[in-house]
A = this chain, B = another copy of it.
């Protein structure tokens, strides 16, 4: 953020805190409500618990809801905030929030609290929220909101505008108006843009678009995000299996989905949750250690493998020189293959390419990479050690190790995906530690075969 803007905001926060503490109700409300909801949220989160209690007495549940709609915080704080409010106030605020955000908030609470807040709400709102609570995580249903504007086709633009005005205060977006039949089935859509450029007396059925793109409640949120990317929509209607309109997904939620998805793929690749960023070293360490220690045990298996060949090494200690070169290079190739595979799986349109073809083409890629890298290392070692046979051994081992690592990097995430796991769980460190094992086995087996020839 701009520095002057930042400073201005800080000064504003100080003034607000002052007004809050000295009970200047009028001044505080004016200054507070003039801020963007996001800035209100920043201010709120900067307050002490005592100050927050004062705030609850000065703002209506609706004003609080507008602010809570944009706060994105971790679970602990959210439930703390709710517990500070009087239950009836909290319930009223939840009812005023967009239903998708209210659901997110309720999901941070335990069953009993959830039930309490729902029982304190207006029955209709509570019913809407209860329904949303039932949708599975990461589906369109779990990110949709029920605050949309729907009309019937058999009316004029003028009367549609009238409906719009009356719902503009509660709807999450009024920029698309969905047209439904008598049984609430989605039959068309018209954008507010089209609505205002059309004649007031035109009939909705004449000006609406009948080719309305929708998603199903059960659709994966990533597929929904892809549709937003392709079509550049600001919102998409969500229908149930009978084509009834049940909600909408808006673009701000899709940005969160895209962010989360990217973060989780990225975290997976490095075997670390990158959410930590500025954590205490102790906490950061505790997040990274489980993977490291787990992989350490896998690495120990590799060590015991090498241990089998200790005699070979003691006879030809030159072999030790190339262990890290072979395992490292194969590991790098495996990481590359893994990253491509995880990305390929994430792209819905590319899933159709058959498992076999993908693995085969990656096998060929691995062979090409292995062959060229093998030739390079053959030349380097032959020249360095004046020993072409040793160069040949290292080159062949390198080629095989790379091909296998490449294949593992492709095959394992694809298999995970088939089995229903998140392919990003197969992390780069896992693939490279696994490839250490196969590389070492390949290397020492090939070396044993040629043992008599490269030792002079």
Q: Does A125 contact B (CB under 8 A)?
A: no
Contact of A192 among B192, B327, B339, B373 (CB under 8 A): B192
Q: Does A22 contact B (CB under 8 A)?
A: no
Give the residue name and chain of the B residue nearest to A196 (CB). Answer: B165
Give the residue name and chain of the B residue nearest to A269 (CB). Answer: B269
Q: Does A193 contact B (CB under 8 A)?
A: yes
Q: Are B288 and A369 in contact (CB under 8 A)?
A: yes
Q: Does A343 contact B (CB under 8 A)?
A: yes
Give the residue name and chain of the B residue nearest to A306 (CB). Answer: B321
Bound form: Cα–Cα A335–B192 in Å: 49
Q: Does A407 contact B (CB under 8 A)?
A: no
Chain B contacts for A276, CB-based, 8 A = 340
Instruction: Give, as a whole number of angstroms, the nearest-CB distance from A75 to chain B.
Output: 19
Instruction: Give, as a whole number of angstroms, the nearest-CB distance from A149 to chain B.
Output: 11
Q: Are A232 and B365 in contact (CB under 8 A)?
A: no
Given contacts A258-B262, A299-B328, contact A336 B436 (CB under 8 A): no
Chain B contacts for A328, CB-based, 8 A = 295, 299, 302, 327, 331, 432-433, 436
Question: What are 17 of the A-B contact pairs (CB < 8 Å)?
Answer: A36-B211, A70-B230, A168-B197, A169-B197, A174-B196, A254-B255, A262-B266, A271-B332, A271-B335, A272-B335, A277-B350, A281-B362, A291-B336, A310-B320, A319-B320, A323-B324, A331-B331
Residue numbers of A with Cβ under 8 A of B are 1-2, 34-38, 70, 161, 164-165, 168-169, 174-175, 192-193, 196-197, 209, 211, 213, 216, 223, 227-232, 234, 251-252, 254-256, 258-259, 262-263, 265-267, 269-272, 274, 276-278, 280-282, 284-285, 288-289, 291-293, 295-296, 299-300, 302-304, 306-307, 310-311, 313-314, 317-325, 327-329, 331-333, 335-336, 338-340, 343-344, 347-350, 353, 361-362, 364-365, 368-369, 372-373, 376-377, 380, 384, 428-429, 432-433, 436, 440
